[in-house]
């Protein structure tokens, strides 16, 4: 196993709603990071499609039959990625060509519902999906809940890598399940890495004895207007955006944490690519004192069962 892993977080503004244009931007930015040597590149929560800021920032967005919210949902459904989406091929080709992995969030459509999916592109294999288990608060107006079938890790030549999204990091059993899978590197996808989110990400690193890439977005009100226009425009959706106060609404603050929780690299509030070289030998050294899935566990007292069956809602039998 390689002992040094070069990684990067792309802290950038998405192109909201217009996922096709967002993929083009993501390929360009990920390509820049890979050119600098990164073997794992992480983007923030729903970079493809943008974080739905209006749920928190637009007055009345959660009201029943709000015209702007309805318009936004229709546009998101129309633009969302789907199974075997050919628009994603450039990301896969980038991984294949450079033997690198890319973790990137997207709005995904399955039948008539939307999911928050953090996709892990890896060379020579289909992307590994992780659908957010519990959308937080107002997010439930948009996203369906994921199931245990997308809790998993990718086995790279240097170790295992997995994803969780935002407030899933406050689900103790989800963390325990991921620790059991033996991550060497974990991608924590956030809209903004606020102070408490930074603490949470560093805690995950310490608890899981792994490296954590806490990836945030930079997103401005102007980005929403731009994305809406690229996606075809809508007067009700535009009015919803206009009601949002302030300009910069996602403020990055990405960080990379080591298995002892120290911060290896810290981003500011603007757009940048954050780099670090991870010394993977630190994992074994830190396991000396704490292995929450091994010598610091009590399986005779506590037992966790994870249902990894896909729950499609309807079973058709002949």
Determine whether 220 is exposed, middle or buried from the number of CB atoms within 10 Å of its CB (0-12, 13-18, 19+). Answer: middle
**What CA–CA distance (Å, rounded) separates 102 from 41?**
5
Helix (H, G, I), strand (E, B) or coil at 13: coil
**What CA–CA distance (Å, rounded) separates 275 from 243?**
37
Which residues, 6 or more positions from 126, have their beta carbon under 8 angstroms from its beta carbon?
A: none
**What CA–CA distance (Å, rounded) separates 268 from 287?**
31
Strands 40-42 and 101-110: parallel
**What CA–CA distance (Å, rounded) separates 43 from 213?**
9
Determine whether 63 is exposed, middle or buried from the number of CB atoms within 10 Å of its CB (0-12, 13-18, 19+). Answer: exposed
Catalytic site residues? 45, 132, 166
Nearest to 141 by CA among 17, 15, 52, 79: 52
- Angle 195-208/172-180 helices, nearest 10 degrees? 40
Q: Where do the DSSP E strands lie in the chain?
A: 4-11, 40-42, 101-110, 113-122, 125-128, 153-156, 159-165, 183-189, 211-215, 218-220, 248-251, 255-257, 263-266, 272-279
């Amino acid at each position: 196993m390689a002992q040094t892993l070069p990684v990067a977080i792309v802290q950038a503004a998405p192109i909201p709603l217009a996922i096709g244009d967002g993929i083009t931007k993501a390929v360009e930015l990920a390509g820049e990071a890979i050119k600098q040597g990164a073997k794992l590149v992480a983007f923030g929560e729903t970079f493809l499609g943008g974080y739905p800021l209006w749920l928190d920032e637009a007055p009345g967005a959660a009201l029943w039959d709000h015209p702007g919210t309805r318009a936004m949902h229709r546009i998101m459904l129309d633009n969302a990625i789907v199974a075997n989406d050919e628009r994603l091929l450039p990301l896969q080709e980038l991984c294949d060509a450079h033997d690198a992995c890319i973790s990137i969030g997207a709005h995904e459509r399955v039948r008539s519902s939307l999911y928050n999916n953090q996709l892990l592109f890896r060379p020579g294999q289909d992307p590994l999906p992780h659908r957010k288990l519990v959308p937080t608060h107002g997010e439930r107006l948009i996203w369906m809940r994921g199931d245990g079938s997308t809790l998993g890790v990718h086995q790279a030549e240097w170790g295992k890598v997995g994803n969780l999204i935002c407030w899933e990091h406050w689900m103790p059993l989800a963390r325990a399940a991921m620790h059991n899978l033996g991550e060497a590197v974990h991608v924590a996808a956030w809209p903004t890495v606020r102070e408490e989110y930074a603490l949470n990400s560093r805690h995950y690193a310490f608890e899981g004895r792994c490296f954590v890439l806490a990836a945030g977005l930079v997103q401005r009100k102007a980005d929403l207007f731009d994305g809406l226009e690229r996606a075809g425009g809508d007067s009700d959706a535009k009015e919803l955006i206009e009601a949002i106060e302030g300009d910069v609404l996602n403020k990055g603050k990405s960080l990379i944490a080591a298995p002892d929780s120290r911060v290896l690299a810290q981003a500011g509030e603007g757009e940048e690519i954050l780099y670090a070289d991870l010394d993977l030998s630190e994992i074994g050294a830190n396991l000396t004192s704490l292995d929450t899935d091994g010598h610091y566990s009590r399986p005779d007292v506590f037992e966790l069962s994870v249902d990894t069956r896909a729950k499609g809602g309807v079973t058709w039998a002949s």
